[in-house]
Amino acid sequence: MKVTLLFSKYITDPTGASAVMKYLIEGKSIFNSNGVSISYLTRDDLYPKKKSNVYSSGKTRLYGLKAIVFNFIERYSRTNSICAILHRYIRSGRAAKAIVKKYLSLPSNDDILFLHEIETCYYYLKYRKANSNLKIVLVSHSSGDLYGTTKIDYPCLGKGLFKRYFDKRESLVLSNIDKLGFVSESSMNYFNNKYCDFPIEKLFFSLNGIPDIKVEKRTIKKAQYNICCVATVNERKGQRFIIDAMIRLPKDIINKIQVNIIGDGEIKEELYCLCKEKGIDSNITFWGSRNDVPQLLAENDIFILPSIDEGLPISVMEAMRQALPIVSTRVGGIPEMIEDGVTGIFIEPSPDGVKSFFLSIDKYDWAEMGKKSRLLFENKFSISKMVKIYSDIFHQLV
């Protein structure tokens, strides 16, 4: 059986979906042992990165007029529909279209096309030959809403003409795919409840998996509790909630904690300036995008991710792998990653939710929770389990 995985982003981008693609590529031998010959075509193959023109976050540097125009589009992309559409196309749509056209230009005897983005799937369906018999497996790394991330990143696109624009694309995709997967059972169930007419036999889920490494625990005692958050710094991931909560903490509590925010993103500078303005900058460090995340995790006691929307975050798995207890929200697949009160705790995705965690921080045995978090990782989140499920789905179709 021959399968090709298309992915329109760089596998080295600091996102969970890119990390999963990297692990699926590294798992090629496991696919082979399951009777699947798999090939890969990603943005790395179309546009190899040049160190001289790429930020640590993976963004390409722009100069002159291009930079001015793009910065204008980016600035108004959350409030102006035209800017939002342009920003989204520049960031993702353009590459998705290019990767599909490249694939269609190559000789192929594939049985299955394996996709992890609705945009890439849409462009394939738009440009494929009418008589194509290729089976399509789409996996959504979302909370169950296929365009959920788009609606959060670009609030102005969630209504009116532009909502109908995305609804039409979604309808084309759902009418033509052979299997639709999610990275958690919760996400699959959410989709099934929202889209009652979609055939349930086409749905499946596969928990993500990551390689098992363990870095020796190193605690740098800046405070009684070292707390880290690893994620793209944006509104969806909830770092603003952490800052807003810290601003409102009594001095005796804030003196106990040191928060480390690891990652880059569009609101990082804004949050950094807010911390300086409110006088809490000595209790919070912005590390930016890093290549040594496992080592940084090993220097912390607790992991926090107060997201308002998720699929199955890789950063939580990485923290579990390092035996950290998890403080997070009941969104997407996160409830499948935490045993409340055993391996971590749930909070509301809000400043009050984060503040309640800080105020009750002394009541938990975090070290014991971390040990159980590690055991849960070992039992649920391996690459071999993930690849086996995908392989079984492929065999069902051919």
Supply the pLDDT for residue 58. Answer: 43
* pLDDT tens over the chain, length 398 residues: 999 999 999 998 888 899 999 999 999 999 999 999 999 999 999 988 764 444 434 445 556 787 888 888 988 888 898 999 999 999 889 999 999 999 999 999 999 999 999 999 999 999 998 878 899 999 999 999 998 888 888 888 877 777 888 889 999 999 999 999 999 999 999 999 999 999 999 999 999 999 998 777 766 566 789 999 999 999 999 999 999 999 999 999 999 999 999 999 989 999 999 999 999 999 999 999 998 999 999 999 999 999 999 989 999 999 999 999 999 999 999 999 999 999 999 999 999 999 999 999 999 999 999 999 999 999 999 999 999 999 999 999 99
Supply the pLDDT for residue 294. Answer: 92
CB atoms near residue 77 (< 10 Å): 24
Identify the bridge partners of residue 124 per DSSP, sorted by sequence position. none
Supply the pLDDT for residue 56. Answer: 39
Write the secondary structure of the chain as one string of H (helix), E (strand) and C (coil).
Answer: CEEEEEECCCCCCCCHHHHHHHHHHHCHHHHHHCCCEEEEEEHHHHCCCCHHHECCCCCECCCHHHHHHHHHHHHCCCCCHHHHHHHHHHHHHHHHHHHHHHHHHCCCCCCEEEECCHHHHHHHHHHCCCCCCCEEEEEECCCCCCCHHHHHHCHHHCCHHHHHHHHHHHHHHHHHCCEEEECCHHHHHHHHHHCCCCCHHHEEECCCCCCCCCCCCCCCCCCCEEEEEECCCCCCCCHHHHHHHHHCCCHHHHCCEEEEEEECCCCHHHHHHHHHHHCCHHHEEEEECCCCHHHHHCCCCEEEECCCCCCCCHHHHHHHHCCCCEEECCCCCHHHCCCECCCEEECCCCHHHHHHHHHCHHHCCHHHHHHHHHHHHHHHCCHHHHHHHHHHHHHHHC
Task: Extract the tokens encoding 353.
Answer: 């939710």
Task: Extract the tokens encoding 290.
Answer: 């890093």
Supply the pLDDT for residue 220. Answer: 59
CB atoms near residue 33 (< 10 Å): 13
